[in-house]
Chains A and B, each alone.
Chain A
């Protein structure tokens, strides 16, 4: 069973708009990670947020984490066509390195 579930499953926006993706998970975590996957390629790590952090920024990315609600969100500001990809959240268990990935959000940014 999947630990993380992304919402929405698909998102289509215009270039310049912001994109928000949500992730919910089931068990306690040490950290939560977001990855991007371009078509036909492997996953690329974007950002890691630890369980004692509430918000983290990296360039145009903003990640929030609410451990009380077991949820996280990824915001991409001023989106570009090159941001078109699938985005996955991933969580390791408290005792383990094995990441469990959600089903992903497919983002399409139209020029």
Chain B
């Protein structure tokens, strides 16, 4: 079964440090999503890419977060500088949308559990 792969699975670091999370979407998928999950806020969409182009990152704090897709096999989410309130599980998901707004199911990775001390 094809899977979305996220690395690292766990990350513990001190506040102020840069954090980079990586995602390998399923081969052939043309949409990539980044989500953050916390007990208080639930699942929040941070960024959305289609054909490697960022379409929506309105849910992402711009001052410290950045999301990129250097190529079709890699998506990254960076936090610099990190803060304790960034502690959460970050999920990447990918999907295949043959046309825009086709609303196909998303396939999730198992997440990066981030703890900022």
Give chain A's interface residues, CB within 8 Å of chain B. 2, 30-31, 33, 35, 40-45, 48, 88, 92, 95-104
Contact = CB atoms under 8 A, between A and B. Distances in A.
- Chain A interface mostly: loop
B43 A44 contact: no
- Contact-size category for B: 20 to 34
Contacts of B106: 43, 45, 99
Dominant SS among interface residues on chain B:
strand
22 contacts: A2-B42, A30-B101, A30-B103, A33-B105, A35-B108, A41-B110, A42-B4, A43-B43, A43-B91, A43-B106, A88-B43, A92-B103, A96-B101, A97-B48, A97-B50, A97-B95, A98-B45, A98-B48, A99-B106, A101-B42, A102-B42, A104-B42
Given A43-B91, A97-B48, A101-B42, A48 B110 contact: no
Contacts of B45: 98-100
Contacts of A43: 43, 91, 93, 106, 108
Nearest to A102: B42
Interface of B: 4, 31, 33, 42-43, 45, 48, 50, 56, 91, 93, 95, 97, 100-103, 105-111
Given A42-B108, A45-B106, A97 B97 contact: yes
B42 A97 contact: no
A98 B95 CA distance: 11
Given A96-B101, A97-B50, A45 B107 contact: yes
